[in-house]
Amino acid sequence: MSPTSHFLVPPKVVPVLDPGFRPAALARRAFDAAATVPVRLALEQADGSVFHASIRVLPASDPRSGANAFFVERLVKCLLWTYGGWRVWVDGPPEVADALSRHYQEAPAGKFDSEIIGQRIYDHPITIVPTRDIPEPRASTAPLGRHLDGCRIGFDLGGSDRKVAALQDGKVLFSEEIVWDPYFQKDPAYHHDGIMDSLRRAAAHLPRVDAIGGSAAGVYVNNQVKVASLFRGVSREDFERHVRNLFLDLRKEWGGIPLEVVNDGEVTALAASMSLGINSVLGLSMGTSTAAGFVTADGSITTWLNELAFSPVDYRPDGPRDEWSGDVGCGVQFFSQQAVGRLLAPAGIDVDPSLPLPEKLKHVQSLMAQGDVRALRIYQTIGTCLGYAIAHWADFYDLRHLLILGRVTTGEGGDVILSEARRALAEEFPELSGRVAFHVPDEKEKRHGQAIAAASLPLVAQA
């Protein structure tokens, strides 16, 4: 028995198709109850922002102390993909920092994180700094969005479709959704031309275009594409030449008007905040991947990454493996079309393996509409896991509201997901069950909300 297995607590509410699921929230609580040695952590971003966190580990004399490295690494991974950062300051036993350094230098999953988060987003490999004096916390938020004056275009780029809307003083004059397949396109012109086509279609319904705002899966800093699954098929050379400055180039093509692009999860949360009049909201979109964003208590978007697709929610060593990062137990395998695809076999549903994930999802939705219990169990499993993930995320967010949307939540299955998530929270985490309110966008919000919020991102200077 490995030292880690002592703390992998079975959930009270067992996911019907995934009984091996071992929630991160329960494992972290069990480990913390046994640990006594404090470890302080600080994550530093390229702009100097610093975020603090802490964990307790087991003393070296404890026969289970071999679990220390696992629990510290899983926490740091959650912190990195939630808040972001490249330098990690560690005030704790030397072996803790040593194990972290080896992980990011040697382990395949650690090297992936160092490449994507460290080098591609923050221009530095992830660096572990042992210290007794961690830097003071510093953070900034961006009062981005909520501007609806003038003639605006808003767009949203997903893995299976792109949406666009034309607005005049906040009123939607036109909206459209077009199917596309950007993931493995090698020619960056495919992405450029598709986006430009949608923008032109929207512009045809406006007397002029004052500003353009967009949301897209990935990480965007100052309108530069840092890393995004939408461009996975593009070579590194073409990415640097044609993709990194794609939205800066588009702004030039539109005469230099204000143009802002941010992560789609951020815009999801902003859309909920604007339409429902709520703050402290985490927006979670279950689509091709798992997109998330957070609006603070004062209504601002943060500098955080909020890439919950890569954040571990299942701590079993043989959990489902992410095909991109190679890591196990990450959110994308539980809250996306990939989750639906993964659960087809356990549910006893046979489909052509070559079918793309959106088609597999449509098949499950069709079965659900017919009352097929096999499809019901897929949605029940996703919902149960979501309840435990919410408890985990609540350790990193001041979480009061949760907006759930995305293609996986469309139809009756979405109701089942919410019901099962509420049940898991009520039975295992009653204190959170009464604190976190669930929200689902109505049909109008689904059609227009994301594009409206995206269109509101740029500030137009008044004459």
Going by pLDDT thresholds of 50, 70 and 90, the confidence category of residue 445 is: low
What pLDDT, on the 0 to 100 scale, is given for residue 159? 82
Q: What is the structure's pLDDT at 161?
A: 86
**DSSP three-state, residue 370:** coil
Residue 186: count of CB within 10 angstroms of its CB: 10
pLDDT at 331: 97
Give 140's pLDDT tier (boundaries 50, 70, 90).
low
Q: What is the pLDDT of residue 268?
A: 83
The lowest-confidence range among 84-93, 117-126, 129-138, 264-273 is 264-273
- Over 90: is that where the pLDDT of 210 sits? yes
pLDDT digits 0-9 by tens, 57-70: 999 999 999 999 99
pLDDT band at residue 463 using 50, 70 and 90 as cut-offs: low
Domains and CATH numbers, the chain: 35-130 (no CATH), 142-266 (3.30.420.40), 268-448 (3.30.420.40)
Does position 325 have pLDDT exceeding 70, yes or no? yes
How much is the average pLDDT of 250-274? 91
Q: pLDDT of 356-408, one tens digit each?
A: 999 999 999 999 999 999 999 999 999 999 999 999 999 999 999 999 988 89
Instruction: Band the pLDDT of 442: cuts 50, 70, 90.
Output: confident
Give the model's pLDDT for residue 370.
97
Say whether pLDDT at 447 is over 60. Answer: no
Query: Does 250 have pLDDT greater than 80?
Result: yes
> Measuring CA to CA, which residue among 112, 122, 120, 111 is closest to residue 83?
122
Burial class from Cβ neighbours inside 10 Å (0-12, 13-18, 19+) for residue 149 reads: middle
Q: What is the pLDDT of residue 3?
A: 80
Least confident of 102-106, 241-245, 449-453: 449-453
pLDDT, tens digit, for every residue of 283-305?
A: 998 988 898 999 999 888 877 89
CB 292 within 8 A of CB 332: no
Highest mean pLDDT among 134-143, 278-287, 375-384: 375-384
Amino acid at 69: A
Non-local CB neighbours of 216 within 8 Å, separated by 6+ positions = 156, 157, 228, 230, 261, 263, 264
pLDDT at 462: 67
Tell me 47's DSSP state.
T
Question: What pLDDT, on the 0 to 100 scale, is given for residue 276?
Answer: 85
Lowest mean pLDDT among 234-248, 300-314, 447-461: 447-461
Mean pLDDT of 182-206: 96
Output the average pLDDT for the chain: 93
Q: Is the pLDDT of residue 145 over 90?
A: no
The helix (H) or strand (E) run that includes residue 224 is strand 224-227
C-alpha 29/C-alpha 331 separation (Å) is 19
- Tokens coding 254: 């539109």
279 pLDDT exceeds 90?
yes
pLDDT at 316 over 80: yes
Highest mean pLDDT among 95-99, 154-158, 177-181, 287-291: 95-99
pLDDT recorded at residue 85? 93
Q: Torsion-angle region of residue 48: left (phi > 0), alpha (psi -120 to 50) or beta?
A: left
pLDDT at 171: 92
CA distance 70 to 60: 14
